[in-house]
Amino acid sequence: MVKSYSIHVIGRVQGVFFRASTKEAAIKYNIHGFVRNEFDSSVYIEAEGEENNLEKFIDWCKEGPELAKVEEVKIEEEPIKNFSDFIISH
């Protein structure tokens, strides 16, 4: 079943290739949506996909790329928006 989540990642997540790595993980797990940096130095993601793939993607978000230090991940279920791919938003 397809689900949609907003994912707010807090910690040392900017300047560590988090957005580019998130896109790679999204492609790997067939996730659609977007990732963007926030003004408060966090990263915001909207992700849609099959529930089991989303679980793997969220697990990845809790670790992030090698240089990241994820301190907190906030997840909320969202209405389906039917994203067609996964982009890095600015």
Q: Which amino acid is at 45?
A: I
Catalytic residue among 12, 30, 36, 37: 37
> Is 19 known to be catalytic?
yes
Catalytic residue among 19, 30, 36, 82: 19
Sign of CA dihedral 14, 22, 32, 2: negative
> Is 37 known to be catalytic?
yes
Concatenating the DSSP letter of every residue in 18-86 gives HHHHHHHHHHHTT-EEEEEE-TTS-EEEEEEEEHHHHHHHHHHHHH-STT-EEEEEEEEE-------SE
Q: Annotated active-site positions, please?
A: 19, 37
